[in-house]
Amino acid sequence: MNLRDSAAAYSTFLIMLTLGINNSPLAAESKSTNSTISLTIAAGCVFSGETGPNFGTIDFGQHSSLTSSYIFSVSKAGAGTILLKCTPGLSYQIALDAGQNPSESGGNQMHNASHQQYVPYELFQNSQYSVPWTLASQLSSVGNGSARAHTVFARVAPQSLTPPAGTYTDSVTVIVSF
């Protein structure tokens, strides 16, 4: 082997050493360690559905008189129904406040555009209109991990006088506790 061949062999050895290449059977070694992977699922609820936390409008329709009988309305998907997804096994409560125009007694009222006229209304948890849905009378349920629809039943009681024509509205806050 001449000097040129020795230099080439030495260079090749240095390159193999630098790159960690070793043809020796003693160099075949492996090491392992564990790595922890973690996920914590917190108990909670999220509003669900296409409209997110805005549940749409419960519409009583159009009427020319409020003096003769009750007017009923039932929420449906995208129109007042509360869609909620809660952790399985989590107990939760849903309360509805008295809206933006509470009466002196704390009941709900819709107002006209000038805020001069009001129409009282009530919200209920059941189709018999016997269980009010308020801050004091909350709906209780247990989460199952899927979106659950909670229907709101609404009613306008007959009035002694029909207020002036116009559109009457209100906005109610949905409060979820768990």
What would the pLDDT profile of 139-151 be if each residue is shown by its tens digit?
Answer: 999 999 999 999 9
Our separate counts of H helices and E strands in the chain read 1, 10
Q: What is the pTM of this model?
A: 0.75
How many distinct structural domains can be found in the chain? 1
Indicate whether 139 belongs to any domain. Answer: yes
In a domain, residue 89? The reply is yes
Q: According to the model, what pLDDT value does residue 3 have?
A: 46
4 assigned to some structural domain: no
Residue 126 domain flag? yes
Note whether residue 56 is domain-resident.
yes
Highest mean pLDDT among 11-20, 72-81, 159-168: 159-168
Q: What is the mean pLDDT of the chain?
A: 85
In a domain, 20, yes or no: no
* Predicted confidence band of residue 24 (pLDDT cuts 50, 70, 90): low
Question: Mean pLDDT highest for which of 13-27, 41-55, 107-121?
Answer: 107-121
Residue 29 in domain: no
Does 175 have pLDDT greater than 50?
yes
Inside any domain, residue 66: yes
Q: Report DSSP letters for 15-81, one per residue.
A: HHHHHT----GGG-----------------EEE-STTTT----------S-SSSS-EEEE-BTTBB-
Domain CATH code at residue 160: 2.60.40.1090
Note the pLDDT tens digit of each residue in 88-109: 999 999 999 999 999 888 889 9
pLDDT at 10 over 50: no
Q: Which domain holds residue 125?
A: 36-178
pLDDT of residue 48: 82
